[in-house]
Structure 1
Amino acid sequence: MARTAGEVNRKKVHSYYDYSLLFLILFLVCFGLVMIYSTSSYNAQKFYGDAAYYLTRQALFAGAGILIMLFVSKIDYRLYTKKLPIIKLRPITILYFLCALLQTYVIIFGNEVKGAKRWIKLGSLGTFQPSELSKIAVILGTAFIVNLAPRKLDKIWGFLRVLLFMGPLLGLIVAENFSTGLIIGLIIVAISFVASKKKAYFIISGAALAGLASLLIIFVDFRTTRFEAWRNVETHEKGYQILQGLYAIASGGVFGKGLGESMQKLGFIPESHNDMIFSVVCEELGLFGAVTLILLFILLLWRIFIIAINAPDLYGGLIATGVLVHIASQVLINIAVVTSTIPPTGIPLPFISYGGSSLMVILFEMGIVLSISNQIKVQRSR
């Protein structure tokens, strides 16, 4: 039945804001703070004389990150592609070159921790990991390049054009942190894949990238050692952390030992508040807690997916896709590593693992996704 003029007039267009996504983000951040205190309080008291040492630092980053997220969520995401009035450069261009400069600096002068140069020392504030900021540059930059000419991606040279622009930064990231480079490479491919109508050549590109990654594992000694440790967890000297994580998961049972009651965090799992925090979640909260956390991540990804398919333009949809792939890949890889499904690598669990750089970057990305949701227009009855 056709609508009457009065019914049409009673409809009013409103901006949409995904408060359910905002609630999920805040809940995961708070849950992460609880688990960081639970996993780190013993070592923090032992080494720093303050059981809340790690909690306090992470809470400061979380508070700052939430404020940044709320601020960014009110900025139109399309402004990142507009040229600034005086310098005539786009914000995403400035961010790209800034990240490239920081990546170069960290490779040459970075603060070395356990044989890896991934951090820039910031005095009393701690350290900063440039590869985390580079994820934002890659998501915004790849989405912008693809959005300029999406039809060109129907041919292989269109994808090569994307790699030509994003390749230098990706190469610097791989040189600094191989596992992060894999995630960023996956983000680039995923954004391009979504925008392309023809998908066949992505299979070839994916196979080529997988082959290149295999070579970088086979011919680099410490990566080969990790692979051997994964294959021989119980006998290899480097398999200790994986084995202790599996002990924690197994001892948790269905409902866990109770919050704060983990035994493996008492020095058995090295730095349990970092990449191995999911094993302590399993030990203290059991299978029930682990599954609940995974379901929360699935809900988070679902809300981002809804925003991506309802975005007001292709650019917004591609940005949301990049953020979705970033979070999904980190969750999958982290849980796979902790459960010894894949060889060990240093990927934090989003919102949960300790790390100021990682948390603030993810909250910044969430702010952009909320900004996209804020540009979605819906009709409501007056």
Structure 2
Amino acid sequence: MAKSSREKMNRNKKYNNYYDYSLLFLTVFLSCFGLVMIYSTSAYTAQVKFSDEAYFLKKQLVAVIAGVIAMVAVSKMDYHILMKKLPVLPVKLVTAGYFIAIGLQVFVLLFGKEVNGAKRWINLGPLGTFQPSEVSKVVTIVFVAYIVNLLPRSLNRMGGFIRVMVFLLPVIGLIAAENLSTALVVSAISVGICFVASKKKWYYLVFGIVFIAAVAAYIAFGDAFRSIRIQVWLDVENHTQGFQILQGLYAIASGGLFGTGLGNSMQKLGFIPESHNDMIFSIICEELGLFGAVAVILLFVLLIWRLFIISINAPDLYGGLICTGILIHIAVQVIINVAVVSNSIPSTGIPLPFISYGGTSIAILLAEMGLALSVSNQIRTERG
């Protein structure tokens, strides 16, 4: 009788759907801050090259607006639609996304636009360029979460983990052919989701050792420029190719506690090439000082915290794993970017999320945050 009474009371309870406005605010704030810093860091270069100091700001603003629209639209969508079959093909949406990602990576290797010796972009004519690897990050999150959601207990054995990674090898391999740093991020997302979902962790140590050995061999026997980056890291002051990192360190050092003031950076005046891209954190340190740099890092910590809260309160395993993947994506990119700028690790091209210049990156990233908000919108809270 007591049990049936409790069940009746639970049925009579009324619930509201939750929506994480804190995550929304942090995302929009970081994107707006990124626009300010892009204008500050790129105005000189844009004026010299294009006679328009707002050239890069305008392009990024268009991408941010498109991304915000996508974020809001995706946040109101039920994320379970990803597991539904397409009306015209006998495959689920998440599976179709997986094959599209592979197709885009093949296309960019064959017909992509080459910049600085690497094919990473697809030329869209008047619309600019598109970087397929950014799509692959989101596809990896939803696809790995989907596989793990189907057979979560299989990850308690190394064989189950290997089977998941076999599915990701085509995507990771195609990305690594031209962009090792992004391939490492995709690998971290995949392994991270599996690690969180599995009860037994011992075999990840074995995988980590094998993975590090494989990356070391790839660097040692692959293109020479990757080995050169390690040499630069070890002796940045004397190496002939250590100019950019060294100038970034000068920018960080000259910022002091409170910085030189917004817009007053000297290193952005041609000393740091394309300072509005991956090296933008060094200009933040110079113009806003240690105080500004710590404030930015704390904003990312708050963002990651909100993603963690959503993941542990998600209505099902799939939603929780999606948010876990997004959390890992943001955390890994922030850590790598700050570490590269401060010369804590060898140089690699990973942008600072929401802040570095890049239309594809910010638009896809905002849509990805919309996915996290979609999961939050499915959380039910008891109506008071």
TM range (shorter): over 0.9
Is 1:373 aligned to 2:368, yes or no?
no
Distance of 2:6 and 2:333 partners within structure 1: 51
Instruction: Name the counterpart of 1:147.
Output: 149
Distance of 1:359 and 1:239 partners within structure 2: 28
- Letter of the structure 1 residue corresponding to residue 366 of structure 2: L
- Tell me the alpha carbon deviations over residues 284-330 of structure 1, each in whole angstroms, 9 at most, x when there is no partner: 00000000000000000000000000000000111101000000000
Instruction: Name the counterpart of 1:82.
Output: 84
Instruction: Name the counterpart of 1:52.
Output: 54
Distance of 2:340 and 2:35 partners within structure 1: 22
- Letter of the structure 1 residue corresponding to residue 200 of structure 2: K
Instruction: Name the counterpart of 2:65.
Output: 63
* Alignment gaps of 5+ in structure 1: none
Distance of 1:300 and 1:350 partners within structure 2: 11
Instruction: Name the counterpart of 1:340.
Output: 343
Distance of 2:322 and 2:6 partners within structure 1: 39
User: Is the Cα–Cα contact under 8 Å of residues 16 and 378 in structure 1 kept in the other structure?
Assistant: yes
Q: 1:327 aligns with which of 314, 327, 330?
A: 330
Which SS does the other structure have where 1:238 is aligned?
A: coil
* Alignment gaps of 5+ in structure 2: none
Instruction: Name the counterpart of 1:234.
Output: 237
Mapping of 1:1-382 within 5 angstroms? 11-220=13-222, 221-381=224-384
Distance of 2:10 and 2:114 partners within structure 1: 64
Q: Root-mean-square deviation (CA), in Å?
A: 1.6
User: Is the Cα–Cα contact under 8 Å of residues 15 and 378 in structure 1 kept in the other structure?
Assistant: yes
- Letter of the structure 2 residue corresponding to residue 255 of structure 1: F
Name the stretch that deviates more: 159-168 or 320-329: 159-168
The number of residues matched between the two structures is 379
- Tell me the alpha carbon deviations over residues 128-164 of structure 1, each in whole angstroms, 9 at most, x when there is no partner: 1111100011111100011100001111110111012
Q: CA shift at 1:10, angstroms?
A: 8.8
- Letter of the structure 2 residue corresponding to residue 106 of structure 1: V
Distance of 2:140 and 2:331 partners within structure 1: 16
Runs of 4+ in 1 over 2 A off after TM superposition: 7-12
- Letter of the structure 1 residue corresponding to residue 241 of structure 2: K
User: Is the Cα–Cα contact under 8 Å of residues 103 and 176 in structure 1 kept in the other structure?
Assistant: no
Distance of 1:355 and 1:293 partners within structure 2: 19
User: Is the Cα–Cα contact under 8 Å of residues 246 and 279 in structure 1 kept in the other structure?
Assistant: yes
Q: Percent identity?
A: 60
TM-score relative to the length of structure 2: 0.96
Which SS does the other structure have where 1:340 is aligned?
A: coil
Which SS does the other structure have where 1:14 is aligned?
A: strand
- Letter of the structure 2 residue corresponding to residue 247 of structure 1: Y
Q: CA shift at 1:63, angstroms?
A: 0.3
- Tell me the alpha carbon deviations over residues 308-357 of structure 1, each in whole angstroms, 9 at most, x when there is no partner: 00000000111101000000000000000000000000000000000011
